[in-house]
Homo-oligomer: A and B are copies of this chain.
Amino acid sequence: MAAPLNLHDDRLFPAEPSVRGIARALYGEVRDLPILSPHGHTDPEWFATDAPFSNAAELLLQPDHYLYRMLYSQGVSLQALGVPAHGAPSEVEPREAWRLLAANMHLFRGTPSAMWMDHVFAEVFGFTQRLAPDTADDYFDRIGDALATDAYRPRALFERFNIELLATTEGPHEDLVHHRALRDSGWAGRVVTAYRPDAVIDVEDERFGPAMEAFAGLTGQDVHDWKGYLQAHRIRRAAFARLGATSTDHGHPTAATADLSSAEAEALFRRVIKGGASPAEAELFRAQMLTEMARMSLDDGLVMQIHPGSFRNHNRLLFEGFGRDKGADIPTPTDYVRALRPLLNRFGDDPRLSVIVFTLDETAYSRELAPLAGHYPCLKLGPAWWFHDSPEGMRRFREQTTETAGFYNTVGFNDDTRAFLSIPARHDVARRVDCAFLARLVAEHRLSIDDAREVAVDLAYNLPKRAYKL
């Protein structure tokens, strides 16, 4: 029989009573602050159309690679889970897919996915028993019923979640139709875009050709000419900014930057644009483009985010059968010290520039990222990311960066999610873990309680607001 579902008030706080008491007090200062979500992957169409969500499997399971990758690792096929192949809708009965999740909930013990799901089930839908084989159908039915009501439409949930700002991510080749519709809709919710130009920068990306065509079409520029190409970026950055964007985002395989002369850059562009670039040329072009983006940021004020170090589409068969972003991206060792130096030596001392760096390689926290961010005026550290967006991951981030970079070279939390309903859960975990960390410092007399209160609020609200210029 399914076990009771309770979210304990003290979850994620240290067990020691005096530390727990401090954590509880600090959390009391931040639990009800509005949510700032300056980096994520929700679909702007949801908020533009405000159409109801469909069913539990399609909303909560099939888009969430955290969930289906774990099931896949234990021999459950993506077909059976109804994960769409190359975007084509699955023919699997959603209720059957949902039952497979319910039958395998034990796999998530000790993972953040378990905490996020329980939070959504309890707080958003009001369940009091855990998801299990014997509650799977009841879950599926009640979630389906709820989603059909007005209170569970995207905008209503956005307001209920107390989200002050939500950023989505689009490419320069996308026309932002939903963001324009949102702007024109009169709805007060702030949903903005962010400029993610990977598809028109990375010539090794399978989307490069069509993306460049659309890029040309949207800007009227000759994007196969270096000056036209740069101008097209400027045009789209401005268009994104008009729809609320305050940041760009760059998901390169490495953190490499370059600082070529403009003649060298143009020559390189010509080589890579005509096709057949070597891996080294493709890498150098990505590297140079980060520096070009920094240069443009000095003009238009957009904050740069660099998200390097993921080996994309590691599983060849899965990529061929299902396409990208199916839970088969794997982190790799990532250098920052040599990689970022060309960009930093060009613009790193200019406090008008703001570059937020993320990592999937935790060894860089204390060795490279905290020392760099604790020195260069332009650099800030993004929060623990992706596989490390978890209680232990966040704790390691604070333990390994704070002593060298302090709190004020970090930027608060990003949820980075496409799972809209889990946004409050994820911010709640981050706030609790930060308060737990601060509580330990207070209990060990390394930080005063008054300072800790201020830091807690800064981490939850003021730092993201300032870092992302919201």
Contact = CB atoms under 8 A, between A and B. Distances in A.
Interface of A: 3, 8, 10-16, 18-19, 69-70, 72-75, 106-112, 114-115, 311, 314-318, 327-328, 330-333, 335, 337-338, 341, 344-345, 348-349, 351, 360-363, 366-368, 370-377, 379, 387-388, 390-393, 399-400, 402-409, 440-441, 443-448, 450-451, 454-455
A243 B286 CA distance: 55
- State the 6 A-B residue pairs at the shortest beta-carbon distance, nearest first: A8-B445, A11-B445, A15-B443, A75-B351, A390-B403, A110-B402
Contacts of A367: 331-333, 360-363
Given A75-B351, A107-B406, A330-B372, 14 more contacts: A8-B445, A12-B444, A14-B444, A69-B375, A73-B405, A110-B455, A111-B402, A311-B338, A315-B345, A317-B349, A327-B375, A331-B337, A366-B393, A371-B387
Contact of A106 (B316, B388, B451): B451
A399 B392 contact: yes
B73 A376 contact: yes
Nearest to A366: B362
Contacts of A341: 314
B316 A345 contact: yes
A375 B12 CA distance: 26
B110 A406 contact: yes
Contacts of A454: 106
A361 B333 CA distance: 12
A327 to B, nearest CB: 6
Contact of A403 (B363, B393, B450): B393
Most chain B beta-carbon contacts within 10 A, residue among A8, A15, A363, A373: A15
A114 B406 CA distance: 10
18 contacts: A12-B445, A72-B377, A73-B379, A75-B377, A108-B406, A109-B406, A109-B455, A110-B406, A110-B441, A111-B403, A114-B446, A311-B337, A315-B349, A331-B371, A362-B366, A366-B388, A387-B404, A392-B402
Nearest to A74: B408
A21 B143 CA distance: 38
A11 B109 contact: no
Contact of A73 (B3, B18, B377): B377
Most chain B beta-carbon contacts within 10 A, residue among A317, A327, A370: A317
Contacts of A318: 349
Contacts of A408: 74, 106-107, 109
A363 B445 CA distance: 28
A315 B351 contact: no
Given A16-B15, A406-B107, A455-B109, A337 B363 contact: no
A344 B315 contact: yes
A345 B311 CA distance: 14
B10 A374 contact: no
B106 A73 contact: no
A439 to B, nearest CB: 9
Given A74-B408, A332-B367, A406-B110, A12 B446 contact: yes
Contact of A109 (B106, B371, B407): B407
A446 B115 contact: yes
A331 B406 CA distance: 17
Nearest to A359: B367
Given A330-B368, A363-B367, A409-B74, A15 B447 contact: no
